Structure 1
């Protein structure tokens, strides 16, 4: 059987990690053997990866150890393709491919480099323009990411491909029939880039007599400070913190509106999952990838980043909107894994 390897730093509960496992599942369904390579065996998704795939811990506590360990793996296992999901890992993968040029290498860019905080834009420009030439393709998960990589690199255009993240719909879908949409959901990692504090500050501006409730699903470094803020604003009766849930779909269909408050994103998976579940969606304009998902005023609304007043207005406007769950779900069909995986397989055949 043909083998494909997916390289990740770890398997925490994050968008890039989740869609990487979705991609692995789609390859497996097509009859491929899939190895999940991690630098360290950490994160909430480790158990899922171990149950479904061959999880290989490269045991790299320092990144400089990765080239040798990755090369040993590639020479021993000979995967037909290696899919690398983060910039630093992709640079190393490009170098390693020199010793195995017959292997396809797909470097996946999930975020716009101009907004990434973990790498200066000039450094991305230099390294991507040089090292990514050694890849088979650079996969950009949204139109915004594609355009930004083009802008911040040279001589890379022929290497770039737009392939959306694969997102599975829930196994069973039961759309809410509620006329008044009062159950709000925020889902993701509770950290600075996601800006969950904006959600609390916005709902604090809304008349409590509207009967809204807000649930946070996810965990992260801001959990305690958000709970403190909730208490300070006397919103304890309105806001619930569920924490991390392995099966988000088991809960997401119980809500009416999903809200994304991020300051930056690539292609926000949670918006797609919400649409599959028939929810109306509201998002900050945190990337052009949002526009790949939301048709503003049709299946959701887009508001400026960081503006609690405009977010509040969007929530109030959305409460009374008619929302056909089946229509919402159909707007996300282009992200179905059965379509996405064919694009990868096509690249592996070229």
Structure 2
């Protein structure tokens, strides 16, 4: 939001935080208003929330309201009946729609337009009956950095960055099982922690690959600790837009990822910056990993960095402002 305010003379963005925030660091220097309901009774809480949003919208007279919460989409739509001038309501969901319990897909049609962080989410929106003309695929921004993480010589270094989950979303079980069938000189560095960390370590021991893995635990800004890497691995069952892939590609690191819903297909171009495998197809994953270990020629790292040009900040915010203008033009033409 800070970038929107800094990079545009046409738009001023402000946050409304229902329930407030425990971590004040991320809202430093951001214009925001928060509401923490005082009532303990659930019905009274809902009325208090509705009243606070209604009063806020009446006061601010927004040109557009963007919501990352499906429940608040409906609340804003109800509030709009009591406010002039009217404004478009835009959803901005950051998860795969059918895998996140917090997303109530029945409430999405109450938004007039939808910002989609991946083409997969746009497809999911269409499957709900939302017209393609109301969908805007914008992705997420990433900073351009000059640094390239060099590839090690004489060995293969795989890296994993994220929550450590045996199954569920991240499926480290698939990663460890596939790696256990890869011959040659390789090592895996795991940056992240989670409730299944001990279970994953025990599985790696059972599979006979424990000594080929370094479990770093949670590391603040893992990329500062990564000095060499051959490829980043992602075995997720689902995502929204896995920014860890973009972070890797922006540093010239090859990516091997499941082609899960949603996001990887937008970032990985086969033979250009990485490879995709079908989720759950461990034989295919093992074959890809083996080809890298046995010396498959990987793409030029600087060309890889350029392959996600559309996500770098300057391109991203120019695209976002164009979509804001399109949404407002369409609304004002009604």
Q: What is the TM-score normalised by the length of structure 1?
A: 0.76
Q: Give the secondary-structure state (helix, strand or coil) at the position aligned to 1:345.
A: helix
Which segment drifts farther, 197-206 or 248-257?
A: 248-257
Q: Does 1:106 align with 2:80?
A: no
Q: CA deviation at 1:184?
A: 0.9
Larger helix proportion, structure 1 or 2? Answer: 1
RMSD over aligned Cα atoms: 3.0
Native 8 Å contact 1:260 1:283 kept in 2: yes
Q: CA deviation at 1:302?
A: 0.6
Q: Does 1:174 align with 2:151?
A: no
Q: Give the secondary-structure state (helix, strand or coil) at the position aligned to 1:194.
A: coil
Q: From the CA coordinates, give the structure whose radius of gyration is larger.
A: 2
Q: What is the TM-score normalised by the length of structure 2?
A: 0.80
Corresponding residue number in structure 2 for 1:269: 243
Q: Give the secondary-structure state (helix, strand or coil) at the position aligned to 1:193.
A: coil
Structure 2 gaps, min length 5 = 330-334
Corresponding residue number in structure 2 for 1:67: 50
Q: Within 2, Cα distance between the matches of 1:67 and 1:181?
A: 59
Corresponding residue number in structure 1 for 2:135: 160
Native 8 Å contact 1:49 1:55 kept in 2: no
Native 8 Å contact 2:70 2:107 kept in 1: no
Q: Does 1:190 align with 2:167?
A: no
Superposed counterparts of 1:113-262, under 5 Å = 113=97, 115-118=98-101, 124=105, 126-129=106-109, 131-132=110-111, 135=112, 137-154=113-130, 156-170=131-145, 172-180=146-154, 182-191=156-165, 192-207=168-183, 210-252=184-226, 254-262=228-236
Compared CA separation, residues 250 and 232, structure 1 to 2 (3 A): same
Compared CA separation, residues 87 and 225, structure 1 to 2 (3 A): farther
Native 8 Å contact 1:253 1:279 kept in 2: no
Q: Deviations over 1:27-70 (max 9, x none)?
A: 1432645436363535xxx3641445356553369794643443
Q: Within 1, Cα distance between the matches of 2:157 and 2:311?
A: 26
Task: Choose the corresponding residue for 1:87, options 43, 58, 70.
Answer: 70
Corresponding residue number in structure 2 for 1:20: none
Compared CA separation, residues 157 and 99, structure 1 to 2 (3 A): farther
